[in-house]
Amino acid sequence: MHVASPKTAVPVELEQLAADCAAKSKRRAVWLRVGQLIDGFGDNACPDANIVFDAKQIHFVGGPPPAELLPAGQRKPDAELPQHTIMPCLIEAHAHMFLDGTIIDFAARQLGLQQDTNAMLAHARARWPRILASGVGAVRDAGDNRTVGLALAAEAKTMQNKLAASPWIDSPGAAIHHRGRYGAFMGEPIEDFSSAEQCVASRVDRGADRIKLLVSGVIDFEAGRVTTPPQMQAAEIATLVEAASRYGRQTFAHASGTEGIGHAIAGGVTSIEHGYFVTEDQLSRMRDAKIAWVPTLAPVQAQIDHANRLEWNAQVVGHLRRITETHQEMLRVGYRKGVDILAGSDGGSCGVPHGEGLLRELCHMEDAGIPTMGVLQGATGASARVLGFGERIGRLAAGYRGRMILTRHDPLKTVANLQKEKTVLFDGEVATDSRPVDANKH
Ligand SMILES: [Zn+2]
């Protein structure tokens, strides 16, 4: 394991060097030797590793590369970075691209929702460079009924297997909910159709890559629990899951509250989103049924962090802390049991900015007690394995896309190091996040 962060390192030099390598990678294979390589799926980092890649893909990872992969006569790496770690770009498993997470105040958020679709889409497109620079290379949009996610996903598909300038994204379009129940701001009611099957068919017709189900309501922070019964029963969920699978689509279920989570598990969804108030027994069943969990700690933590502006009193803050502590404990239990725990920040929700929000979510997962490598896997290789994206991402291995984070701040010491300056190599371009080092990770 290498020792990161020598005081003498000058990030500007790395920037230049990375830019040179990126430019070369558009013409030929580039050979980098790094102090540490995290491949996104292995349990151990690889010290003193070599990686050979071009703008399109990675060709080799490991010891000395075979000569036939290198330009004729090349015997030395194009760059040696003994103090640096390289790892795959991060995957954001849960974000709402039509929403602006920097907006805290309720009235301003309501106003934001009144924008027309073109304005929302323009804002979302404008956020890409910052999201990419934060290290996020792919997003699973978690639903909107304004077609922003679908439009971004369609744009990404035009660049599939090509050199893209922005992260990969796919989207479910409008989430499915019941008329009059939670989720009207991001979903459309199943009652618009004569059957669950027709509802799913219509989503797929509009371009949905996945099917998002709103199975429960949300946590009532003032009550400190989910106060409404689930809006979907297990049989209905199973029908929707079955219909989705006929089109080769995964399903993901917004579910908080023990009862709703139980219905989502029994219905056989691909993943449970949020999952607040999950039980130990339910975690065992999720592991056995290979249902993943995206615990989204960030939005509840944001309520605590912004309690004053949100005018939460001491009692509500007490609820929020208790809910978070219980959730953290269930995260440890789930991890121990072998549940696939994936990193998703609920970016776009109140106080959770896109890009940065995922970096915070990783810190929350680490703070909860998930081993650092487990957190990184949940944001790279495990996420890619479970969610099956339309690009070969999430791992550093031959055949995968050359979308990588290069940093002198060892992410295995703490994932908070990913919030420090770093360089993102992405399809032959570089994106640099050179914000001043911020000791405060929230
Ligand atoms: Zn969400």
CB burial of 49-60 (b: ≥16 within 10 Å; e: otherwise) equals: bbbbbbbebbbb
Token pair of 258, please? 């023990």
For residue 145, the tally of other CB atoms under 10 A from its CB is 17
CA of 97 to the centre of ligand 1 (A): 10
Token pair of 250, please? 């995964």
CA of 194 to the centre of ligand 1 (A): 26
Please report whether residue 5 resides in a domain.
Answer: no
Please report whether residue 363 resides in a domain.
Answer: yes
- d(CA 107, CA 95) in angstroms, rounded, equals 21
pLDDT tens by residue, 291-302: 999 999 999 999
Please report whether residue 174 resides in a domain.
Answer: yes
CA of 82 to the centre of ligand 1 (A): 40
The pLDDT score that the predictor gives to residue 14 is: 82
pLDDT tens by residue, 123-165: 999 999 999 999 999 999 999 999 999 999 999 999 999 999 9
Please report whether residue 190 resides in a domain.
Answer: yes
Task: Say whether both 242 and 146 belong to one domain.
Answer: yes
Q: Work out the pLDDT band at 433, boundaries 50, 70, 90.
A: low
pLDDT tens by residue, 258-317: 999 999 999 999 999 999 999 999 999 999 999 999 999 999 999 999 999 999 999 999
Question: Which of 441, 430, 372, 437 minimizes the C-alpha distance to 7?
Answer: 437
Task: Say whether both 221 and 82 belong to one domain.
Answer: no
CA of 346 to the centre of ligand 1 (A): 5
CA of 175 to the centre of ligand 1 (A): 10
Residue 173's contacts (CB-CB under 8 Å, 6 or more residues apart) are 143, 144, 145, 147, 149, 150, 203, 206, 207, 208
Task: Say whether both 150 and 273 belong to one domain.
Answer: yes
- d(CA 190, CA 174) in angstroms, rounded, equals 11
The pLDDT score that the predictor gives to residue 442 is: 35
Count the domains in the chain.
2
CB burial of 361-396 (b: ≥16 within 10 Å; e: otherwise) equals: bbbbbbbbebebbbbbbbbbbbbbbbbebebebbbb
The pLDDT score that the predictor gives to residue 15 is: 83
Task: Say whether both 127 and 138 belong to one domain.
Answer: yes
Alpha helices (runs of H) in 134-193, residue ranges in sequence order = 148-158
Q: Work out the pLDDT band at 12, boundaries 50, 70, 90.
A: low
- d(CA 427, CA 331) in angstroms, rounded, equals 34
- d(CA 347, CA 389) in angstroms, rounded, equals 19
Orientation of helix 314-337 relative to helix 280-289, angle to 10°: 40
Please report whether residue 72 resides in a domain.
Answer: yes
Residue 217's contacts (CB-CB under 8 Å, 6 or more residues apart) are 181, 182, 226, 227, 228, 230, 231, 256, 257, 260
Question: In terms of residue numbers, what domain contains 142?
Answer: 90-387
Question: Which of 300, 369, 380, 368 minimizes the C-alpha distance to 340?
Answer: 380
CA of 440 to the centre of ligand 1 (A): 25
CA of 253 to the centre of ligand 1 (A): 10
Residue 280's contacts (CB-CB under 8 Å, 6 or more residues apart) are 330, 333
Please report whether residue 394 resides in a domain.
Answer: no
For residues 171-199, average pLDDT: 98
Within 152-221, strands assigned E span 168-170, 175-177, 187-189, 211-214
415 burial level (CB within 10 Å; 0-12, 13-18, 19+): buried
For residues 104-126, average pLDDT: 95
Please report whether residue 6 resides in a domain.
Answer: no
Please report whether residue 439 resides in a domain.
Answer: no
CA of 203 to the centre of ligand 1 (A): 18
The pLDDT score that the predictor gives to residue 144 is: 96
CA of 200 to the centre of ligand 1 (A): 19
CA of 142 to the centre of ligand 1 (A): 6
Task: Say whether both 101 and 161 belong to one domain.
Answer: yes
| β pairing state of 292-294 and 271-274 | parallel
